[in-house]
Amino acid sequence: MTTVAVIDFETTGLSPSMGDRATEIAVVLMEGDQVVDRFQSLMNAGVRISAFIEAYTGISNAMIAAAPPAQTVMADASRFVAGRPMAAHNASFDRRFWRAELERADRPAEEPFACTMLLSRRLYPQAPNYRLGSLAAFHALPSSGRAHRALADAEVAAALLGQIRNDLRSRFGVPEPRHELLMKLQACTRKAVPRAIEQAKLSDSGASTKR
């Protein structure tokens, strides 16, 4: 059974290419649909947090001043993930910071990312919108604390990933929704979803007969 690392960052802005840095990271390990471990830490990247971001996340400059250095935290996070496939909500955002912060820490960052936002767009056209909080309410997922703090958001994203996997089983008959299938589904159009799933089921069936 594949273990997936569901990640969330809080940051000073939207883009590391514009000088923005991470202020907090959380990683939730899921084995199947069960959470089996967690990692969370604030981090001090030596940059000031604006009043807007402080109000948005609740993370203050005083909190960051007392936090461990960003490179130390990212090295610890990398060891915790240990090369496992990853997932995030709006994964393009978290993947950018994962790679940028690990590059500063001189650590590799080659893990494949599944995106619960893109997957939700493919599977839930009836959802009112695709923000994490809205999807949590849509699926009646439990709240894990204040939104826009890394561990709370990572917990909700992990619950959403579990919902997606359960729906792939119950609605589409996928016995084991593998990470490779999630990656394929998020890259295809909504109309192509059933065909992609059928191809994956045929591939799994062929592999099982060869064992």
Q: What is the pLDDT of residues 115-153, one digit of tens each?
A: 999 999 999 999 999 999 999 999 999 876 667 799 999
- Please give the helix or strand (H or E) that residue 11 lies within, else none: strand 3-11
Is 208 a residue whose pLDDT tops 80? Answer: no
Q: pTM to 2 decimals?
A: 0.93
The per-residue pLDDT for 206 is 54
* Averaged pLDDT, 148-175: 94
- Cβ burial of 58 (10 Å; 0-12, 13-18, 19+) is middle
Q: What residue ranges define each of the domains in the chain, with the CATH number in brackets?
A: 3-210 (3.30.420.10)
Q: Are 44 and 65 in contact (CB under 8 A)?
A: yes
